[in-house]
Amino acid sequence: MLYLNGQFLRPEDAKISALDRGCLFGDGVYEVIPVYSRQPFRLAEHVRRLDASLASIALPNPHSAAEWMELVQAVIARQDYDDQSVYLHVTRGSAGERDFPFPQDVAPTVLINPAPLVTPSHEQKACGVRAISHADFRWLRCDIKSLNLLPTVLLREAAKRAGCAECLMFRDGWLSEGAASNIFVVKDGVIAVPPKDHLILPGITYDLVLELAKQHGLPLQVRRISEAETRAADELWMTSSTKEILAIVELDGQPVGLGQVGPLAKRMDAHYQDFKQTVMRAGAAC
């Protein structure tokens, strides 16, 4: 069952106008919330990021934070599987015509569509994944979780065709992020990650990795990282709500470090998995 504009519906019964601005222009924003054992992870943070994305595109938030949390919980409760990936989006609705400026008095479209949560396989965790790179040709507001995902579609397709799981992006010689993940770099035992600014999406997993590093005394720097530094890294990790912490062992056909999952990736992933079992699944304050 999904949620669309106030109704819980079977996917085949859910209908959206062909003139919805999400469909015509990608005029909307979205979230993906991981759910473990029916406990949404950091729901309040996801709702806050959604609110920030909506404010950035001047789309009034149709719900209070409390209403969003209630709606997401209601959707989770209606599924017959426990681990879920809850996709939600809000668009500027349909004015019945194709015109760029904001329409007046048009209700936004709210869709909440869950799916079973698919996390990396045992083999991907054990062996790591491969990545390609590309110039970051996206716009300058990558902090907005926008429905305009054409760059992600093109870059992930290029990665897939190359037998890779992700595409790292560089802008003016600096690492920004992956097509759909944040990127961490390890050199000489020190973890580094680019700062959360307008050039990357402020990942919820990014925050958790910073917290776990601090909690377990692992050195971590938040700073700009050059392309040369990225290519000379001992370890590269991609992080996201569904990929968790996944080691990248090859970039553009070259081994990253020793070309294996590195020691810090293993340690951090162990901390993450432990946190998942003890805190996330328990729905404890997380």
Residue 73 one-letter amino acid: Q
Contacts made by residues 212-220, CB under 8 angstroms, sequence distance 24+: 212/268, 212/271, 212/272, 212/275, 213/268, 215/271, 216/267, 216/271, 218/191, 218/264, 218/267, 218/268, 219/189, 219/190, 219/191, 220/190, 220/191, 220/192, 220/193
Among 24, 182, 199, 276, binds ligand PLP (CB under 6 A): 182
CB of 31 to ligand PLP, least distance (A): 8
At residue 276, what are phi and psi to the nearest 5 degrees?
A: -60, -45
- Site stretch for ligand PLP (CB under 6 A), options 96-104, 129-137, 198-206, 246-254: 198-206
Stretch that binds ligand PLP, among 2-10, 180-188, 214-222, 247-255 (CB under 6 A): 180-188
Q: 145 catalytic, yes or no?
A: yes
**Backbone angles phi and psi of 25, in degrees to 5:** -125, -5
d(CA 107, CA 16) in angstroms, rounded, equals 12
- Is 205 among the residues that bind ligand PLP (CB under 6 A)? yes
Sketch the per residue contact string, 238 through 267, with ligand PLP: x for CB under 6 A, - otherwise: -xxx--------------------------
Task: Using DSSP, state whether 116 is helix, strand or coil.
Answer: strand
Structure tokens at 135: 């110039």
**Closest separation in Å from C-beta 7 to ligand PLP:** 27
Q: Does 204 bind ligand PLP (CB under 6 A)?
A: yes
**Do 46 and 95 meet the contact criterion of CB atoms below 8 Å apart?**
no
Q: What are phi and psi of 2, to 5 degrees?
A: -115, 170
Nearer to ligand PLP, 94 or 239 (CB): 239
Rule CB under 6 A: say whether 133 interacts with ligand PLP: no
Rounded to the nearest whole angstrom, what is the least distance from the CB of residue 55 to ligand PLP in the complex? 18
Residue span binding ligand PLP (CB under 6 A) among the ranges 67-75, 176-184, 251-259, 268-276? 176-184
Site for ligand PLP in 8-67 (CB under 6 A): 32
The three-class DSSP label of residue 88 is: strand
15, 125, 145, 276: the active-site residue? 145
Q: Which two tokens stand for residue 158?
A: 């290029």
One of 203, 245, 256, 286 touching ligand PLP (CB under 6 A): 203
Q: Which of 27, 136, 177, 235 binds ligand PLP (CB under 6 A)?
A: 177
Indicate which residues carry an active-site annotation.
Answer: 145
By CB under 6 A, name the binding residues for ligand PLP: 32, 177, 180-182, 201, 203-206, 239-241
